[in-house]
Amino acid sequence: MQHDYAIEQLLKDELNRQRHGLELIASENFTSLQVMQTMGSCFSNKYAEGYPGKRYYGGCEVVDKAETLAIERLKKLFGAEYANVQPHSGAQANAAVFLGVLKPGDPILGFDLSHGGHLSHGSPVNFSGKVYQANFYGVEEHSGLIDMDKVEQKAMEVKPKLIICGASAYSRDWDYQRFRSIADKVGALLLADIAHPAGLIATQLLNDPLPHCHIITSTTHKTLRGPRGGIIMMGKNFENPWGRTTKAGKPIMMSDILNSAVFPGMQGGPLEHIIAAKAVAFHEALQDDYKDYTQRVVKNAQAMVKALMEKGYKIISDGTDNHLMLIDLRNKGVTGKVAEQALVKAELTVNKNMVPFDDQSPMITSGIRIGTAAITTRGLDEKDCHQIVNWIDQVITNVENDTTINKVKAEINEFMQQYPLYPEL
């Protein structure tokens, strides 16, 4: 077989990029070496349609053990009664839940995409917005916060079958209890999508959705620091609310509805190499030093917000409870797109992001989103966050000055040499 030098070289280039730059994209992180190596393992060769003990293929004894470990560890991590570790991604996990609990055309209510919600919660360009009748709640313009009375009003108006809480760019905690009382009032199921703050929830730094939300979905690759993938959980399993029964006349449990929605409803063969890597990540998240990590993530985010506000940056909701912040750049006279491009040139990797009530298009935007999950994994602390804000500010106030941008880049590359990434590779 001919060795592929082209991809081998690109892997080296990407590792160098990750080593030398400052990764501030809120949805990214660096997995442990074991998580990464498990993704690139012989489990990738195995077909295992079905679930542990009930597969459509032979030879699944070993992957059954790995998937069972992943499920048991995940249940322990969140105190969940039910877990499914097969969704290929966060969007797939949401799609499976929708498929399991909704009928085409059903009304749903989620967080406004232009306020920081996620595509898979009813965007017109996503299947969730094409198949279901999507409605949204958002934040208040003056506070950047969700007004729960308005959520209730909206829910009474649109009578959703499913209410979704959770977002991609909301820096505040969620009132799951109030969401549940609203869901109960209108007869909706409640889904919490904790893709972003999952690791902070697992370590009790944020409100726990499991006692209040019927179903929980998440990714495993953001604050949870595992492989790229999705999961579904329930705090408590329950009988389906539509009176569906088995042939023998027994009520069907939600665990069965969700399992069959994932497979065979949404997906074919599970990615057992990724599931095994999820098991490794859950094992890591169950250790004491993971809680120490998530605490440092939040401290770093708060230090970053404080330093940014001192330099006159407008942070949506004026603070953060989690690992991320959304910066409104309108008072700085640059768009999100221009800021992203200049910052990326300096190897400060961020993403442009719509801010609530944005007057720019999603391709331009007025804001950037910053997160501290990845830099905290690298070992950076609050003092370093002040330095990062100095660099961000130098770039944003000099977006057209390549000399300044290159000077910042050189300083960052030099600085990051103190924080080796995958030295074994």
Site of interaction with ligand PLP (CB under 6 A): 27, 89-91, 118, 120, 166-168, 193, 195-196, 219, 230
Q: Which of 23, 67, 193, 272 is catalytic?
A: 193
Burial of 288 (0-12, 13-18, 19+ CB in 10 A): exposed
Closer residue to ligand PLP in complex, CB, 323/378: 323
Residue located via tokens 């085409």: 104
Closer residue to ligand PLP in complex, CB, 120/377: 120
CA-based radius of gyration for the chain: 22
Does 140 participate in catalysis according to the annotation? Answer: no
Closer residue to ligand PLP in complex, CB, 168/317: 168
CA distance 359 to 364: 10
Residue located via tokens 């055309």: 105
Q: Which of 19, 47, 76, 330 is catalytic?
A: 47
Closer residue to ligand PLP in complex, CB, 107/117: 117
Extract the tokens encoding 356.
Answer: 């609530």
Smallest gap from Cβ 182 to ligand PLP, in A, equals: 19
Instruction: Identify whether the C-beta of residue 227 lies closer than 8 Å to the C-beta of residue 278.
Output: yes
Q: Which of 46, 75, 178, 228 is catalytic?
A: 228
Smallest gap from Cβ 209 to ligand PLP, in A, equals: 13
CA distance 40 to 162: 37
Instruction: Identify whether the C-beta of residue 375 lies closer than 8 Å to the C-beta of residue 384.
Output: yes
Does 222 participate in catalysis according to the annotation? Answer: yes
Smallest gap from Cβ 324 to ligand PLP, in A, equals: 10
Smallest gap from Cβ 112 to ligand PLP, in A, equals: 13
Q: Which of 154, 222, 369, 409 is catalytic?
A: 222
Smallest gap from Cβ 219 to ligand PLP, in A, equals: 4
Closer residue to ligand PLP in complex, CB, 27/135: 27
Smallest gap from Cβ 25 to ligand PLP, in A, equals: 11
Smallest gap from Cβ 18 to ligand PLP, in A, equals: 19
Closer residue to ligand PLP in complex, CB, 66/93: 93
Closer residue to ligand PLP in complex, CB, 323/332: 323
Does 219 participate in catalysis according to the annotation? Answer: yes
How crowded is residue 68: how many other Cβ atoms within 10 Å of its Cβ?
Answer: 16
Extract the tokens encoding 117.
Answer: 């919600």
Residue whose C-alpha is closest to residue 78's, from 192, 182, 164: 192
Smallest gap from Cβ 169 to ligand PLP, in A, equals: 8
Residue 186 CA, distance from chain mean position: 28
Instruction: Identify whether the C-beta of residue 328 lies closer than 8 Å to the C-beta of residue 370.
Output: no
CA distance 235 to 237: 7
Does 47 participate in catalysis according to the annotation? Answer: yes
Closer residue to ligand PLP in complex, CB, 219/322: 219
Catalytic residues: 47, 49, 193, 219, 222, 228
